[in-house]
Chains A and B, each alone.
Chain A
Amino acid sequence: MVAIPVGELRVQSRSLPGEAWLTDLLSSLPVLAGSAWLASQQQRARQALAGESLPSRRQEAWRFTDASAITAIPAHRLERLAAPADLPAPAAQVLRLVLDGRGDPLEGLALPEGLERLDPAVVEALCGEALDANGATAAWPVQLNGALADQVLALRVSQPLPTVLELVSDTGDAAGVLGLRLLLVLDPGASLEVLEVHRARGASLTSVVLEAQLGRGARLRHGLLAQGQPHQPAAAADELPSSAGAAPVLLHHLAVVQDPGSELQLTAAVSGWGLARLEPMVVQRSGSAFTRLRGLQRVDGRQVVDTHSRVLFAGPEGRLDQVHKALADGAGRSVFNGAVIVPRQAQRTDAAQLSRSLLLSDRARIDTKPELEIVADDVKCAHGATVSRLQQDELFYLQSRGIAADQAARLLLRGFCEEVLAELPAPSALWQPLALLMGEEPAP
């Protein structure tokens, strides 16, 4: 047996109180030259954070989620990211933009017809609008992102686009903090498929704020594939003391405003992060739009994934179809909070939310909570939440056909995941979401 010295495992175990971590980070950030507007945005966010600490479990929105894993990440911005090495070759009809927070991802690229860089004046006018509409401007992860981001990747889609837009970040083994800020504007009648991929292995924090505006009749199919540390076996992570904390962190806000007749289909698959917090939020500005949300998250070892979704119907006749699934293994913790807000003016809203969780270990923990605020009286709002284990009868049925218990369990878990993964945009297959989600070695 080979003894591993504990000191070597504790990569970046230096852990600061939240306040000190934030101070360190803020003081390490350079002042932005160039865009006066963005510099002032940055300044405002940094001031808002100064003297603050990390989100605390005393706050209702963070009640189940311990953010202190963040302090194990070196408190400085990632200034130079190596180009990611092992990305799959992009599929045909895919426009891949690699985001590192520094370089211009559009440089040297010919954009297809109907896709263009948003005019800077328009960016200044629209940036922050969707966050505001969703009441998220002052949220801690959003402020952090504002303090970090030196650029806004802002794109306008003016017609149905046959190309799938792939937005990729990969911090690899790098240690530090990365901030990415994006804005998508879909003109009336435009449509777009996006596959957003974030990967990380090292002690890094990836902060993403993505705003999207969907004009009348516009359609956005958005897939989010967030894959942390795929190469570290979860069992080993489980053995580590929690202070080892080299696991990557993801903070992801997606704020969408939908005009009537628009359709949003958002599918997120998240696994492998030490801590991941996702906040997809949607406002149907005048109702009469369709929102389809699918989420799948898996925790193992000591991982924590927390999805806080929020859908607000600000007008009548909006529809929501939401399914959120979670798998909790090891000593992992999975949190889902699904807010659906139906004020008086949102008559004839039709909303359904279902949360299905599988508890795979006695030490894992699942907290799932629908949060329905319904004031309008003529509405259909269905919701349900189940937490269960793998069904003995299903396992036995497979075993009685010669399938070994562990393979049977894998088949059942795959089935559970496939229902969500099948809804990701097609090019996602190249990223092998199922294998990575299940913690299996990806096929070459």
Chain B
Amino acid sequence: MIRPDAPVLLEICDLRASVEEQPILKGVNLTIRAGEIHAVMGRNGSGKSTLSKVLAGHPAYRVTAGSVHYRGEDLLALLPEQRARIGLFLGFQYPVEIPGVSNLEFLRVATNARRQEQGLEELDTFAFEDLVRERLKVVQMDPAFLERSVNEGFSGGEKKRNEILQMALLDPLVAILDETDSGLDIDALRIVAGGVNQLASAANATLLITHYQRLLDVITPDYVHVMAAGQILRTGGKELALELEESGYDWVDAELERLEASAPEGLAAAQASRTPAEVG
């Protein structure tokens, strides 16, 4: 839902980041307001997951320029755990297995860290079990998964459901879901997407990274962005995703060349001067 007067939750300006001295993000601009659902699409290796990890604060990525503000606060100055506590959530493309750490205990510690920040009381084991059982319904997950180690031996689809369960417990303001639809069977896709819809509200925002229209059939995006070579190359409405489904990414190369020609010192310079609304 687009409301021009809704508060800005996330504002990314000319964000550049490297991994092992290799630039990956080359000037990303994006503004997300409360109530909005954004989809980011783009070829493999274009930098989508890198953007999500930089926002969440992964230590392997070094921000070299630009800024990110979360509700007006300098997000990049915060530790990953602080970002999570104030309401940023990343659903991982590849959720990590953690042997020996019980899923239930992990979910409880995480939930209490967030609740403390929200000024809510900490939940003891019993109160938490009640909450988690209720939230399990959002993703129709078997409670047996609570007894196992975090993601250990979970199937691909089970891991993704576990991510959305965490989202349901942590009640984020900005949720970045990195290919949450990949690896899901048809029914699971419907359940997970339904869960995301259920959690979306006028107060929060969602950034969906996806390759396929089938997710966007269930979750209608307000904006669709196409990422290429570490930048957002084009932004449009939900019809842009349908266009891509038709015609693929062939136009991307031409567009990149055109940009390069117009800005000899690099793509980013041309991009940096535009506001997100002007792009596309």
Contact = CB atoms under 8 A, between A and B. Distances in A.
A411 B90 CA distance: 20
A397 B100 contact: no
Nearest to B92: A397
Given A392-B60, A397-B95, A403-B113, A411 B106 contact: yes
A399 B79 CA distance: 8
Contacts of A111: none
B117 interface: yes
A407 B109 contact: yes
21 contacts: A392-B60, A396-B57, A397-B92, A397-B96, A400-B56, A400-B81, A400-B83, A400-B90, A401-B170, A402-B113, A403-B110, A403-B113, A404-B79, A404-B113, A405-B79, A411-B101, A411-B109, A415-B101, A415-B149, A416-B99, A416-B100
Interface in A368-425: 392-394, 396-405, 407-408, 411-412, 414-419
B92 A415 contact: no
Given A392-B60, A397-B92, A402 B98 contact: no
Nearest to B107: A401
A398 B106 contact: yes
B52 to A, nearest CB: 10
B26 interface: no
B79 A396 contact: no
Interface in B98-153: 98-101, 105-106, 109-110, 113-114, 117, 149-150
Contacts of B60: 392
B124 to A, nearest CB: 16
Nearest to B83: A400
Interface residues on A, range: 20 to 34
B80 A399 contact: yes
Nearest to B152: A415
- Of A399, A401, A404, most buried by chain B (CB within 10 Å of CB) is A401
Given A402-B84, A405-B81, A396 B99 contact: no
A421 to B, nearest CB: 10
B58 interface: yes
Contacts of B57: 396, 399-400
B85 interface: yes
B98 A401 contact: no
Contact of A414 (B84, B96, B100, B114): B100
Nearest to A396: B58
B101 A402 contact: no
Interface in B34-92: 56-60, 79-81, 83-85, 90, 92
A398 B113 CA distance: 11
Given A392-B60, A401-B170, A402-B170, A419 B100 contact: yes
B98 A397 contact: yes
A403 B109 contact: yes
Interface of B: 56-60, 79-81, 83-85, 90, 92, 95-96, 98-101, 105-106, 109-110, 113-114, 117, 149-150, 166, 170
A411 B79 CA distance: 18
Contacts of A398: 98, 106, 110
A394 B98 contact: yes
A396 B55 CA distance: 13
Contacts of A392: 59-60
Interface of A: 392-394, 396-405, 407-408, 411-412, 414-419
Contacts of A402: 81, 84-85, 110, 113-114, 117, 170
B96 A393 contact: yes
Contacts of B56: 396, 400
Nearest to B58: A396
Contacts of A407: 109
Given A396-B96, A397-B150, A417-B100, 16 more contacts: A392-B60, A393-B96, A396-B57, A398-B106, A400-B57, A400-B90, A401-B106, A401-B166, A402-B81, A402-B84, A405-B81, A408-B81, A411-B106, A412-B101, A416-B100, A419-B100
Contacts of B80: 396, 399-400
B209 to A, nearest CB: 15
Nearest to B98: A394
Contacts of B98: 394, 397-398, 411-412, 415
B84 A415 contact: no
A399 B53 CA distance: 12
Nearest to B84: A402
A415 B109 contact: no
B100 A399 contact: no
- Of A394, A408, A412, A415, most buried by chain B (CB within 10 Å of CB) is A415
A396 B85 CA distance: 14
Contact of B101 (A396, A400, A414): A414
B110 A394 contact: no
A414 B170 CA distance: 23
- Of A411, A414, A418, most buried by chain B (CB within 10 Å of CB) is A411
Contacts of B81: 399-405, 408
- Of A399, A400, A412, A419, most buried by chain B (CB within 10 Å of CB) is A400
Contacts of A415: 98-101, 149
B39 to A, nearest CB: 21
B109 A419 contact: no
Contacts of A397: 92, 95-96, 98, 150
Contacts of B110: 398, 401-403
A394 B109 CA distance: 15
Contacts of B100: 412, 414-419
In the A-B complex, the 3 residue pairs with the smallest Cβ-Cβ separation, listed nearest first, are A415-B100, A402-B113, A401-B110
A387 to B, nearest CB: 17
Nearest to A411: B101
Nearest to B91: A400
Nearest to B112: A402
A392 B98 CA distance: 12
Contacts of A404: 79, 81, 113
Nearest to A391: B96
A389 to B, nearest CB: 13
Contact of B99 (A399, A401, A408, A419): A419
Contacts of A417: 100
Contacts of B79: 399, 404-405
A423 to B, nearest CB: 13
